[in-house]
Homo-oligomer: A and B are copies of this chain.
Amino acid sequence: MNENNSDFREWLKLLDECKYAKLKEEINEENAANMAEFFEEVPEEKRLLVFRLLTKDNAADVFSYMDSDMQEDILNSVTDNEVHTIINELSVDDAVDVLGELPANVITKILKNVSEDRRKLINVFLNYPDDSAGSIMTIEFMELRWDFTVGKAMELIRKTGVDKETIYSCYVVDSRRKLIGMVSLRTLLLSKDETLVSDIMEDDVIFVRTLDDQEDIAKIFKKYNLIALPVVDNEQRLVGIITVDDIVDVIEEENTEDIEKMSALLPSEDEYLKTGVFHLAKNRIVWLLVLMISGTLSSAIISGYNEVLSSSVLLAAFIPILMDTGGNAGSQASTLIIRGMAVGDIELDDVVSVIWKEIRVGIICGAVLGVINFFRIMLLGETPIAVNIIVSVSLAITVVISKTIGCMLPMLAKKLRFDPAIMAGPLITTVVDSISLIVFFNMARVFIL
């Protein structure tokens, strides 16, 4: 796919040689996503020049694909008049996305430049909570009245369709703008002109409300294989639609959030390279502290078995292997359960079969690891067989317990309405550490002392 680079090189050459007419012609034919990428390559002092070579339509389009830093640069360097044009050409939801990322003083400058209607609308959008249907929907949708004929509907689509986010799903409303049905452009095309829209629409239409959470909305898209979904307000009136390309971003965002939580990070929506050092440190230190303080427990346990350890300092050498294996075994189980619940494969009702499964998996893994560990220690040769047996059996028991706890904690979290993802690896490691140490030292006490 990367034939772009040769284009980019050619354009940069045109730019160097000041062949602007030729450059203008070429870049206005390129698609917007690639053009936004090209701007990353353009030397900073020439960006504005290149941006001004774009036609009005293209400029707004390319602008919407740029990252927020680049957008801010552009908005800061163009005239008020140009700001006005860009923001007015953007669809309302894109404009809101742009504004959401900008500092307050730039927002003020921009809102000063847009028409009052549009300013009001943008303000409504800016007030929807993050992650809600309202914040990701667009208002550029195709709305049909229930008493339209297909012919009239097609005429309306031809006339106004060019400004809509999608015309492939059209939404049918009654005289009070309540959503009562959906009809696809495909159905309209395959129907006769005189047919009534209300006769061919699907009246069992799936919809969400403005305050619904984007994660739930993504699940609905996946379940029904949708390309668009209508959004209604409290009075069931149609206020917007969400399209599947926005949902693709939501899914990536939600997955990133889960992965971050599973690694004991506070989730962040900012790109790594654009996040400051202090902000990154802040997102990490909370969990590091919690886990470190809870590690006090492990220390207390080891201190408590001081007399066992003094009688055989050798035992200390096996603490890491027990802890690490237990931690890894536990986080394997918790990861599978957390992910299974996130994608909807595992429900709370499955708790008994999950635990029973993990106990059996734990016994198999524990037995195999215990036996291999026994031979590993034997081959290394320096450890008394009694200690070897204690270590290997403790290891096997630890694996079984870790797997069982690893599957239970995320389900417990879900039951208590916490996010299961925070119960992943790091927390389980801490819990499992204590248990594996207690098992280990008690076995040692019984068999060595």
Q: Which residues of A contact B (CB under 8 A)?
A: 1, 29-31, 33, 154, 157-158, 161-162, 167-168, 185-186, 189-190, 204, 206, 208, 216, 220-227, 244-245, 247-249, 251-252, 255-256, 258-260, 262-265, 271-273, 277-278, 280-281, 284-285, 287-289, 291-293, 295-296, 298-300, 302-303, 306, 309-310, 313-314, 316-321, 323-325, 327-329, 331-332, 335-337, 339-340, 343, 345-346, 350, 353-354, 357, 360-361, 364-365, 368-369, 372-373, 376, 380, 382, 395, 399, 424-426, 429-430, 433, 437
Contacts and interface: CB of A to CB of B under 8 A. Distances in A.
Contact of A313 (B162, B280, B306): B306
A227 B157 CA distance: 20
A263 B332 contact: yes
A270 B278 CA distance: 41
Contact of A321 (B248, B299, B332): B299
A371 B345 CA distance: 44
A324 B430 contact: yes
A318 B299 contact: yes
A186 B316 CA distance: 72
A225 B91 CA distance: 15
Contacts of A158: 189-190
Secondary structure type dominating chain A contacts = helix
A387 to B, nearest CB: 12
Most buried by B among A30, A190, A302, A350: A302
Contacts of A316: 302, 309, 313, 316, 319
Contacts of A287: 328, 332
Copy count, this protein chain: 2
B251 A248 contact: yes
Given A204-B30, A222-B252, A339-B260, A292 B157 contact: no
A164 to B, nearest CB: 9
A222 B249 contact: yes
Contacts of A284: 329, 332, 361, 365
A353 B273 contact: yes
Contacts of A357: 273, 277, 280
Given A319-B302, A425-B331, A291 B345 contact: no
A273 B340 contact: yes
B364 A291 contact: no
B289 A335 contact: no
Contacts of A303: 314, 317, 382
A188 B411 CA distance: 52
Given A227-B245, A298-B321, A425-B263, A204 B29 contact: yes
Contacts of A321: 292, 295-296, 298-299
Contacts of A332: 263-265, 284, 287-288
Contacts of A331: 263-264, 425-426
Contacts of A222: 248-249, 252
Contact of A309 (B313, B324, B346): B313
A325 B327 CA distance: 13
Contact of A345 (B260, B272, B298, B365): B272
B288 A317 contact: no
A425 B319 CA distance: 19
A98 to B, nearest CB: 16
B185 A168 contact: yes
A328 B277 contact: no
A33 B292 CA distance: 47
12 contacts: A157-B189, A158-B189, A161-B190, A227-B245, A252-B343, A255-B259, A273-B350, A277-B361, A280-B361, A292-B372, A295-B321, A295-B324
